[in-house]
């Protein structure tokens, strides 16, 4: 697949992803996600329905320390700022970081960063990346519930906007979330964003994307999904597939589909 990200950025991402997988394994058994199927509201992402107690502050702080160490090795220029950030990351701050990452609050991180002499993007990046291993556990714990959700355009687990699906040889789609690694299917074929079920409204964008990928657009709501034709598409690779196909997001947006994403 063609890629628009630099090798340096890719290497950094790869190291972060590897460490996040290790952290997920380390966290298993340390924190438990209890989901009671009958009590789950199928019209709301799971992350909005459970108490924040599933991300204990002390474990989140360890996750932040571990990922900052990876980042420091690749980007020594950030070491001082990362030390400042980790120094400030007490239990109360950790809880704010968790909460504000879950609601994508850039305003909070801008404010916090300016008060602590840290770049806003870095505070937001560490806050979000440190949460990912917990989100992986949440997706694992809710695996059997996700297919029955009736949400439009959002990951049923973590509420990330949908943009990626794997297509098997029978044409069946498995939606993949690059943020929490959830994988789910729709009960009947339809647009994941608006529910449109007239198949003629869902078309493949007529652009050169290579054999392995395709951009499916909905003519009713003007949203898109990147499809990857991979027979075995483990959800753990969703973030890698997403990075590898970043150019397709630009292509779809240039053609007038989707919302403008900020990278
Ligand atoms: Zn998700
Ligand atoms: Zn649609």
The sign one gets for the Cα dihedral 146, 147, 148, 151 is positive
Cα 67 from Cα 131, distance rounded (Å): 10
SS3 33: coil
pLDDT for 263: 45
pLDDT for 59: 97
Distance 25 CA to ligand 1 centre (A): 18
pTM of the complete model = 0.92
pLDDT for 233: 64
Helix (H) or strand (E) holding 24: helix 7-27
Distance 167 CA to ligand 2 centre (A): 18
Distance 170 CA to ligand 2 centre (A): 22
User: Phi and psi dihedrals of 240, rounded to 5?
Assistant: -70, -45
Distance 85 CA to ligand 2 centre (A): 41
List the pLDDT tens digit at each of the 263 positions of the chain. Answer: 455 678 888 899 999 999 999 999 999 989 877 777 778 899 999 999 888 888 999 999 999 999 999 999 999 999 999 999 999 999 999 999 999 999 888 899 999 999 999 999 999 999 999 999 999 999 998 988 998 898 899 999 999 999 999 998 888 899 999 999 999 999 889 999 999 999 999 999 988 877 789 999 999 999 999 999 877 767 788 999 998 899 999 999 999 999 755 54
Q: Which residues of 61-72 are buried (b: 16+ CB within 10 A; e: fewer)?
A: bbbbebbbebbb
Distance 179 CA to ligand 1 centre (A): 5
Cα 163 from Cα 153, distance rounded (Å): 8
Per-residue CA distances from 43 to 131, 197, 220 (Å) = 23, 19, 21
45, two tokens: 């992402």
**Closest ligand (CA of 221):** 2
DSSP assignment letter at 262 = P
Domain positions in the chain = 7-141, 147-254
pLDDT for 93: 97
pLDDT for 122: 96
Distance 181 CA to ligand 1 centre (A): 6
Which one, of 248, 228, 181, lies nearest residue 3 by Cα?
A: 248
Distance 161 CA to ligand 1 centre (A): 8
Distance 142 CA to ligand 1 centre (A): 11
Superfamily of domain 147-254: FdhE-like domain (3.90.1670.10)
């Amino acid at each position: 697949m063609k890629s628009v990200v630099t090798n340096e950025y890719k290497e950094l991402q790869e190291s972060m992803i590897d460490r996040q997988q290790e952290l997920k394994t380390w966290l298993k058994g340390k924190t438990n996600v209890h989901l009671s199927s009958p009590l789950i509201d199928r019209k709301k992402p799971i992350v909005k329905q459970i108490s924040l107690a599933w991300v204990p502050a002390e474990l989140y702080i360890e996750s932040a320390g571990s990922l900052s160490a990876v980042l420091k090795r690749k980007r020594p220029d950030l070491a001082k700022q990362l030390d400042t950030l980790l120094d400030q990351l007490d239990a109360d701050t950790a809880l704010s970081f968790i909460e504000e990452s879950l609601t994508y609050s850039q305003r909070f991180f801008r404010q916090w960063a300016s008060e602590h002499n840290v770049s806003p993007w870095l505070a937001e990046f560490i806050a979000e990346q440190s949460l990912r291993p917990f989100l992986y556990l949440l997706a694992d714990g809710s695996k059997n519930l996700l297919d029955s959700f009736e949400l439009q355009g959002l990951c049923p687990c973590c509420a990330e906007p949908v943009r990626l699906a794997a297509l098997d040889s029978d044409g069946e789609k498995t939606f993949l979330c690059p943020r929490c690694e959830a994988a789910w299917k729709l009960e009947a074929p339809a647009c994941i964003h608006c529910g449109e079920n007239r198949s003629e409204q869902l078309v493949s964008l007529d652009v050169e994307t290579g054999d392995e990928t395709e951009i499916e657009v909905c003519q009713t709501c003007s949203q898109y999904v990147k499809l990857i034709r991979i027979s075995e598409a483990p959800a753990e690779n969703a973030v890698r597939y997403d990075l590898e196909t970043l150019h397709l997001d630009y292509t779809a947006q240039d053609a007038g589909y989707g919302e403008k994403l900020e990278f």
